[in-house]
Structure 1
Amino acid sequence: MSDDHLTPASWTALTTLTGKDPAEALGDMLEEQLEPDGVGVFEMEDGSGLWEVGAYFAEAPDETALAVLAAAFGAKPFVISELPPTDWVAHVRRELQPVEAGRFFVYGSHDADRVPEGRVALLIEAAMAFGTGHHGTTQGCLLAFEELIGQGINPARIADIGAGTAVLAMAAARVFPDAHVIASDIDEVAVEVALANLRVNGMEGAVDCVEAAGFAHPSLTDGPFDLIFANILKGPLIELAPDMATATAPGGRIILSGLLNPQGDEVVAAYEAEGLTLVRRGELGDWTTLTLRRPEA
């Protein structure tokens, strides 16, 4: 086991409750009273209406304090788990295999000898591999993109919203090197990872990487875009529908994912309400990818 990538033992405390506001209030109170290393508040993607609140600790948390907080907010009792030391990079290398999606081949450096000739190969280091193509949503986006390429699209401006490690933006920049490609993410660390991925792929300067929530950046308001990717979650996709429609050029396309199959109809409805038309719906395992088009002016 590599000491360089070995994370020490840690603890998690997880609970669920109904309602976004109570969940966020519980998350705030956890941060204020117990000072964990991190707190996450997420809507559960199973249609239950429940929200999950999780906290992460370097040392065993105060179980009594957690029980009091759960009771105060009407949440289920916290489930506390100790996580053993883990070499995450070794785990990724064991578990993640190269992903093939049409002409695209997403791989880690440990699989460099497996890259087929003639493919658009995108290298993602194992330490940065989560959510970079080894997931049905990213693979689904690449397959939808491949289909658009086959239809003869020639986008001049491309945006990848919530880009994470920027695999989709890099794929677009490789196929359309003359296009202006922008990758944005709300997380500063994700932007740094995207820049690192561009470097290791010899693509420095091929994609503009910016930190932004949605389209809240000058580079993203200077549209419109001929192609937009957004591989995030149902809630943000629905919230972004008006901005996404405004940012799409007449005749432009949007590729959306991050959706469980049952969530597709709700997202389609939100975008159709903004005047976009569904042109493709693909399912890959439990995940759905949608391609929509803005009508010509």
Structure 2
Amino acid sequence: MPTFTALTHLPGREPAEDLAEACEGLTPEPVGTGVFEIEDGSERWEVGAYFEEKPDAVGLALLAAAWGAEPFVISELPEVDWVAHVRRELTPVTAGRFFVHGSHDADRVPEGVEALCIEAAMAFGTGHHGTTKGCLEAIDRLATEGFKPHRIADIGCGTAVLAMGAARLWPVTVLASDMDRMAVDTAAANVIANGLDGRVVCIEATGLDHPTLEQAAPFDLVLANILKQPLIDLSPEMARHVGSGGKVILSGILSDQAQEVVQAYEAAGFALDRRDDLGEWVTLTLTRQG
């Protein structure tokens, strides 16, 4: 069965989300929509709609005009076994002591590593992206330095790879939250597949806004691999939820965005411990002062 995509760009997250919602009223109806920030510092967002039938080009044009977006670009995708394709592309990744792999590479796990099995799925965090790898390396380094957190949260957890990595290194229960229900379900399945059921608790939440997170605070370690602006927006809440001497590991940040994030967290009472660059991506480790 052919698949069709319709993609456009416009400034601002809220208008982009509203446009994606409006697309769901089209006939034929899209089987899914997505909103993504274009990570080039332009503050522009991509809206994508995905169809199993050829979409209504006129309807899409009217929606684009109404929201001040660029005209939708409609494409027909070839029939591809995407899971098989992704499995071929996703070779194992080493990040510090962690070895992140798919089940198809379970026989390639070397001795003496912390193996994390992550399946190709519709959630961010297979270990291949520079931000995920950077965060895993930062977690590994904290453990090597003797840091011993008792309360840990992974905000915007995606596949929960960071939460599971933390649970492997420290004998505590880690809270993993994401605002996307599909990501939470994917995370929960990964937790079970890695034998960490009960050690990583997956919840649906926007940022730190959830009773379970409120009750567990103050945290000794918070992991947040999301995007620049959400990280900046979260800085006051991070300050409220992280205890004195607690640490945050932040990523999803381009090199030219890092200083803006650091300034927001310094204003909220954090001090920069370390900046790690991996290609065009940056991972920040900061400590809560006071």
TM category, shorter: over 0.9
Deviates more, 1:47-56 or 1:133-142: 47-56
Letter aligned with residue 18 of structure 1: P
Where 1:249 maps in the other structure, the secondary structure is strand
Alignment partner for residue 193 of structure 2, among 200, 214, 218? 200
CA distance in structure 1 between the partners assigned to 2:4 and 2:48 by the alignment? 10
Q: What does residue 30 of structure 2 align with?
A: 36
CA distance in structure 2 between the partners assigned to 1:129 and 1:64 by the alignment? 32
CA distance in structure 2 between the partners assigned to 1:172 and 1:19 by the alignment? 34
Within-5 A mapping of 1:12-27: 12-27=5-20
Q: What does residue 124 of structure 1 align with?
A: 118
Q: What does residue 3 of structure 2 align with?
A: 10
The Cα of 1:48 is off from its aligned counterpart by: 2.2
The Cα of 1:257 is off from its aligned counterpart by: 0.8
Compared with structure 1, are the counterparts of its residues 114 and 240 closer, same or farther at alpha carbon in structure 2 (3 Å cutoff)?
A: same
Compared with structure 1, are the counterparts of its residues 59 and 101 closer, same or farther at alpha carbon in structure 2 (3 Å cutoff)?
A: same
Letter aligned with residue 181 of structure 1: V
Letter aligned with residue 184 of structure 1: S
The Cα of 1:256 is off from its aligned counterpart by: 0.6
Where 1:138 maps in the other structure, the secondary structure is helix
Compared with structure 1, are the counterparts of its residues 181 and 277 closer, same or farther at alpha carbon in structure 2 (3 Å cutoff)?
A: same
- Given that 1:92 and 1:129 are in contact with CA atoms closer than 8 Å, whether structure 2 keeps it comes out as no
Within-5 A mapping of 1:42-61: 42-61=36-55
- Given that 2:12 and 2:44 are in contact with CA atoms closer than 8 Å, whether structure 1 keeps it comes out as yes
The Cα of 1:41 is off from its aligned counterpart by: 3.0
The gaps in structure 2 that reach 5 residues or longer are none
Compared with structure 1, are the counterparts of its residues 23 and 108 closer, same or farther at alpha carbon in structure 2 (3 Å cutoff)?
A: closer
- Given that 2:119 and 2:126 are in contact with CA atoms closer than 8 Å, whether structure 1 keeps it comes out as no
Within-5 A mapping of 1:243-262: 243-262=237-256
The Cα of 1:127 is off from its aligned counterpart by: 4.4
Q: What does residue 231 of structure 1 align with?
A: 225
Compared with structure 1, are the counterparts of its residues 162 and 237 closer, same or farther at alpha carbon in structure 2 (3 Å cutoff)?
A: same
The Cα of 1:61 is off from its aligned counterpart by: 0.8
- Give the TM-score normalised by structure 2: 0.93
Alignment partner for residue 274 of structure 2, among 262, 280, 286? 280
Where 2:139 maps in the other structure, the secondary structure is helix
CA distance in structure 2 between the partners assigned to 1:25 and 1:108 by the alignment? 35
- Given that 1:144 and 1:255 are in contact with CA atoms closer than 8 Å, whether structure 2 keeps it comes out as yes
Compared with structure 1, are the counterparts of its residues 20 and 109 closer, same or farther at alpha carbon in structure 2 (3 Å cutoff)?
A: closer
The Cα of 1:279 is off from its aligned counterpart by: 0.8
Letter aligned with residue 250 of structure 2: L
Alignment partner for residue 140 of structure 1, among 134, 139, 152? 134
Within-5 A mapping of 1:176-215: 176-177=170-171, 179-215=172-208
CA distance in structure 1 between the partners assigned to 2:186 and 2:67 by the alignment? 37
- Given that 1:258 and 1:287 are in contact with CA atoms closer than 8 Å, whether structure 2 keeps it comes out as yes
Deviations 1:102-150 (A, max 9, x none): 1111111111122111111111234468522121111000111122112
Q: What does residue 161 of structure 1 align with?
A: 155
Letter aligned with residue 86 of structure 2: V
- Given that 2:179 and 2:207 are in contact with CA atoms closer than 8 Å, whether structure 1 keeps it comes out as yes
CA distance in structure 1 between the partners assigned to 2:81 and 2:218 by the alignment? 44
- Give the TM-score normalised by structure 1: 0.91
2:214 maps to 1:217: no
CA distance in structure 2 between the partners assigned to 1:30 and 1:57 by the alignment? 11
Deviations 1:202-232 (A, max 9, x none): 2221112111111121221121010110111
Alignment partner for residue 59 of structure 2, among 61, 65, 72? 65
The Cα of 1:20 is off from its aligned counterpart by: 4.1
- Given that 2:37 and 2:43 are in contact with CA atoms closer than 8 Å, whether structure 1 keeps it comes out as yes
CA distance in structure 2 between the partners assigned to 1:259 and 1:241 by the alignment? 14
Letter aligned with residue 208 of structure 1: V
CA distance in structure 2 between the partners assigned to 1:125 and 1:31 by the alignment? 29
Where 1:46 maps in the other structure, the secondary structure is coil
Count of matched residue pairs: 288
Alignment partner for residue 86 of structure 1, among 73, 77, 80? 80
Letter aligned with residue 196 of structure 1: A
The Cα of 1:36 is off from its aligned counterpart by: 2.0
Letter aligned with residue 212 of structure 2: S
Where 2:39 maps in the other structure, the secondary structure is coil
Deviates more, 1:137-146 or 1:29-38: 29-38
